[in-house]
Structures are given as C-alpha cells and as structure tokens.
Structure 1
Amino acid sequence: MYHLTALVTLLAIAFYFFTAINVSRSRDKTGVKVPAMSGHPDFERAFRIQMNTLEWMPILLPALWLFAIYISDAIAAGLGAVWIVGRVIYFIGYSQAAAKRGPGFAIQALAAITLWVGAIGAVVLRLVK
C-alpha cells in the first residue's frame, strides 16, 4: 500500500488549494478585479506563486507515484514532503519579493527531479532485466 504517498499527494493538493485562496484574497486586498491578471505587484506575485505551483504539479505527481511504486513509498513520501516544504519556502519568499523565491524553488525542483530520475531509472532498470 502507498498510504504515505497518498497522504503527501493530498497535502500537495491542499497546498495548491491554499495558493488559489491566496490569489482570491490578494484580488480583494489589491483591488485587481476578475478577469484582470495584472495591476498590482502583490497580486501578481500571488498569482505567479499559484501558477508556478500548478506548473510543477504535473512534474511532481507522476514522478512521486512512480517512485513509490518502483522504489519506496516512504522515500517517495519523504521527497514529496520536501517538495511541499520547498513550495512553502517559495511562497513565503516570493510573497515578500520576486528576488526571494530562489531557495524555495531550488528545494522543490531538486525534490521533483530526484523523484523523476529515481522513477525513470527504476523503470529502465526493469526494462533491461
């Protein structure tokens, strides 16, 4: 069973939902009305945080699950949790200033790439056996 990976998947989705709520709150706070996508730097940063999180989820989720299936549920979940922590650090930094987004981005990218490399390595290894 993959209970840990399932939990991390649900937490990643919850974090994404949080970023969507944050965009809505930012619209209210800054006065950026729907359907506008720009107009105030605070709103634009909140929107980019949400969109960048969305852009990374199709990279994370398949790699997370394939890693869990082919290698380890616990290790996949641990790396997935690191991804979420990286996204939180990204959120905090980018909310303050665009220049502060780097550390969180690096953490989450490293976690996602590790999951992907591990998954593809495990799949290829089984194919050549």
Structure 2
Amino acid sequence: MKGFAMYHLTALVTLLAIAFYLFVCINVSRVREKTGVKVPATSGHPDFERAFRIQMNTLEWMPVFLPALWLFAIYIGDAIAAGIGAVWIIGRIVYFIGYSKAAAKRGPGFAIQGIAALALWAGALGAVVLRMV
C-alpha cells in the first residue's frame, strides 16, 4: 500500500463526504417520521420533500465529485485536491442548511459545491491532457 500513502488527505475528504451523505440519509428518515410521510412515498410534506431533495441532489453530485477529486489528487496533488474537496463539503453543508429552511435558500451552497466540483474536474482534465501531449 505504499503507493496510496501520499493520498491521506484525499482519503479523509472522501470519508467525510460519505459521512455527510450518510447524515443526509438519516435526516430524510428523521424528517419522514416527523412529518408522517409513509414509506415508499417521496412527497407529501414540504419539509420532507426538501430533505429528500437534499439527499438526492447530494447523491446526484457524488459521481461527479468523487472521481474528479481522486483524479485531481493523482495528477495534481493530494493537499490541493483535499482542500478543494473540503470546499465541496462546506458547500454541501451550506446547501443543506439553506434548503432545509426554504427551497429559495439553496443557491449559495449549490454554487459553492458546483464551483468546487468544476474546479476538480477541469483541473484533472487539464492535467490528463497535458500528460498526453
């Protein structure tokens, strides 16, 4: 496992992102119980619907974020990837807080995480292309 030793920070950010996703999953169950929305319904109360969309939007972004995070770490560097990855997580937290209050308040968090994900993707793409030439 010597080759992976240089990616401790990226691994930590990956685990934190997964922990955040587990948190939003548990939150959906908590809000489902609180609002009385019975399984398998995915609508019925605005608080539940917002919690469900937070979970689903987080899930929708993970296939963009995680490969971009790791490719950025491999091709550019662990610390920079982890730093941008931490910004992504912060954006998801801001998104969670805003969207939990009202759908109209989700924008700032979405922008933060979107910019971070795009930076990871663009950086990884650029680094891969440069190595191919």
TM-score between both structures, scaled by the size of structure 2: 0.96
Q: Deviations over 1:89-126 (max 9, x none)?
A: 00000000000000000000000000000000000000
Partner residue, 1:22: 27
Q: How many residues align?
A: 128
The gaps in structure 2 that reach 5 residues or longer are: 1-5
Are residues 1:125 and 2:126 paired? no
Q: Deviations over 1:65-102 (max 9, x none)?
A: 00000001000000000000000000000000000000
Partner residue, 1:97: 102
Q: Distance in 2 between matches of 1:33 and 1:27?
A: 7
Q: Distance in 2 between matches of 1:124 and 1:10?
A: 28
Are residues 1:107 and 2:112 paired? yes
Question: SS of the residue aligned with 2:40?
Answer: coil
Within 5 A, what are the aligned runs for 1:1-129?
A: 1-128=6-133
Q: How big is the alpha-carbon RMSD for the aligned residues of Structure 1 and Structure 2?
A: 0.3
Q: Deviations over 1:16-64 (max 9, x none)?
A: 0000000000010000000001000000000000000000000000000
Question: SS of the residue aligned with 1:37?
Answer: coil
TM-score between both structures, scaled by the size of structure 1: 0.99
Q: Distance in 2 between matches of 1:86 and 1:65?
A: 18
Q: Distance in 2 between matches of 1:13 and 1:52?
A: 14
The gaps in structure 1 that reach 5 residues or longer are: none
